[in-house]
Structure 1
C-alpha cells in the first residue's frame, strides 16, 4: 500500500525516514519524493491494530499520524457497514458474478489467513452472549447467515469469537440461526444449529 505524506516545507527524501511502529513491531522505510511537497512510502505489512507512523528528517521528528491496519476479513467487515447493497458491493470488489462464487472467495480468504485471536468482524464489540446488539448485522456471522453464505459461515465457525457471535441477537432480536431460518437458508440453518448443540455439549 502506498502512503503519501504532505509536507509543510520541502524535504529531500535522502534526509527522510518513515518509521512504522505498533504491535511490538518497528520498521523504518525510506520514502521517495513524489513532488517537492509530497513524499511517497510503501507501507510495510503489520498485524491488525493501530500503527504509529513517524516522519524523521536528519534524525528529528517532523510529524506523526496513526493508521488502522485491518486483516482481510476485518477490512471486509468495515466496508460492509458502509455499503448500501453489501452483496453487490462484494461481488464487484472480488469481480465475481454470483453469490456462490462470492461465498467461496470469502471463505478462501479467511482460511488462508485464519486469525489466531479472533477479529473485530466476528466479536460483536463487547456485547455479552445472549444480549441484543444495536446493529442489524453485528457480525460477519450474522451477515453470512442472512445472505446464505454457507462456506463463509463454516469458516467463521472455526474462528475464535464464533461461540459468542452465535448467541448475539441483532437489533431485531435475531441470532445468526434465526436469520438463516427467516431467509430460508436451510443447509446453513442446520450447520449453525449443529454448531450450537456442539458448543453447549462442550460447555
Structure 2
C-alpha cells in the first residue's frame, strides 16, 4: 500500500498535483488545507473570532465534514466558499491554534488509516501528520507564479495586475505565519524531496512524482 504526503506553500500547485497523482495511481486524495478552511469559514459565519481558540476547537470537534470531490460541511457544499478571500485572510490564524490542529490531525490520520493508501496534501503532512509516508514531497514554486495562480482562481480567469500584487503580499504574509508558528510549522521535512513547479504544467509535475514511486 502506498501513502504519498505532499507539503508546500499556497499556490505551489499542491491540490492540482495531488488530485492528478491520486487519479494516476487509483488512490483517494485528501486536501487537509480544506479542513482548516472549513473551520475558518464556520467561524466567520458563526461570529467566532479567528483568535478564539476554544470556540474554533469546538467547531473542529463537532463539525460533520465530508472530504471528496466536494467539501461538504454540515450538509452544505462549501467547496467554493472555503476559497473566498475572507477565508484566506484568517485561515493561518485559525490553523495556528494547537487544539484545532490536534483535532484535525486526528481526523486526517484516521482517514488515511481507514484507506491504507492515499495521497495527502497540506502544510505539515510530511513533518507531523504522516512522517513515515512512503514518499514525501515538498512542492514549491516562485512567489510570483504562486500569486498569479491564486489570483486567477479568485478572478475566474486572467487576473488584474493589482489583484496579483495584493495576492502576492497576502501569500508572503501567510508564508511567514506558516513557517513561524510554534505548532506544526511549514518546514522541509527530513527525507522529503523538493519538486519545483515553476513554469511547469501539473501533468509534468505528476509525471516527475509518479516516477519516484
Say whether the fold is shared (TM-score over 0.5): no
Normalized per residue, the structure richer in helix is: 2
Q: Which has the higher strand share?
A: 1
TM-score under structure 2 length normalisation: 0.30
Larger-gyration structure (1/2): 1
TM-score by length of 1: 0.31
